[in-house]
Structure 1
């Protein structure tokens, strides 16, 4: 019975990070083949994914509130669940910025940032997928390092994109894309925070 209950936590976390990946993949498709005519419809579809992620987090919190024993510390499960939900929220924030700011053209450097975000979430999927075997896993450590490396690449890309952006003369362009770049960069930051929680779990139990 305990094994079945423990499986819920890991399955829930895996589903959450899968939703995050789906959201980022959807964002990539939108920015690569951008159309003003479909942005509102796409925003609604993205919100459905965000709501789905919220549902998984709420289920996790409900089960944790009733649990006596958990496979890893309760506070770590709470933090990890929150961060995974935050990734999907952050991806939706990119959509919201594009919509609210009436963006009609996607800048050429945006798809590269989103592609890097996808890689970062994929690496995080590898981390979460090994979480239930963290004591014996031979790959989870490298996957955590991979998330951190990709987040650093994201930081560097963000700096270069901002450097080019501040060379623009149109103030509206600068303000709009400054916020959008920051939202994408924040997505990768949250991925790193989630990976750091897993690293903390490993250290606590080593």
Structure 2
């Protein structure tokens, strides 16, 4: 096992806590996008989770600085922590945009993106369970699924932006929705980036 010492389990526990936190944020984001009627409340809740994620990242870095022998290379752990942090930062940034850009109604594309984020969060939670067990088969399977998810994000982005230009009667709405759609697609890219790192880590230590 990659994580086979008591000290190693600390790093595993922190990373699984981070993925659970992302899962909670992604679920709240999906609930928010269903109506956007309580977007301020949801944005605040997701911001709290984003701050909690920062605390987890700082804790991981603190443990790295205090531990000479770690279950993975320091650089690998830091890269994984950064990608995980980027995911929840992206989710929080989109939730905040709904508020300060005054997005009042959901769109089918927002719902599709929200579903992708929620699914991706579930997949990375499963992947980090696989990491603890060094289950390469499981991680490879999840990596393929995340790649499919990212490709779907690309497709939704193209369709959503195309829809904005079909009848561009409201230029302000076009600008703000285009930015939000692009930001959401960037989060799906980060899921794929994370899984690429995770796959290379398992191959390195197999």
TM over 0.5, shorter chain: yes
Q: CA deviation at 1:137?
A: 4.3
Gap runs ≥5 in structure 2: none
Q: Which residue of 1 aligns with 2:94?
A: 94
Q: Which residue of 2 aligns with 1:3?
A: 5
- Determine the C-alpha separation between the residues in 2 that align with 1:117 and 1:196: 17
Tell me, yes or no, if the aligned pair for 1:87 and 1:190 is still in contact at 8 Å: yes
Deviant stretches of 4+, over 6 Å: none
Tell me, yes or no, if the aligned pair for 2:131 and 2:202 is still in contact at 8 Å: no
- Determine the C-alpha separation between the residues in 2 that align with 1:109 and 1:149: 17
Aligned residues: 202
CA root-mean-square deviation:
1.4
- Determine the C-alpha separation between the residues in 2 that align with 1:138 and 1:180: 35
**Which of 11, 14, 23 is residue 12 of structure 1 equivalent to?**
14
Q: Deviations over 1:169-191 (max 9, x none)?
A: 21111101011111211111111
Q: Which residue of 2 aligns with 1:105?
A: 105
Q: CA deviation at 1:87?
A: 0.8
Q: Deviations over 1:82-130 (max 9, x none)?
A: 1111111100011111111111112232111110121122111111111
What's the TM-score, normalizing by structure 1? 0.93
Q: Which residue of 2 aligns with 1:157?
A: 156
Counterparts of 1:1-206 in structure 2 under 5 Å? 3-35=5-37, 38-134=38-134, 136-169=135-168, 170-206=170-206
Tell me, yes or no, if the aligned pair for 1:97 and 1:179 is still in contact at 8 Å: no
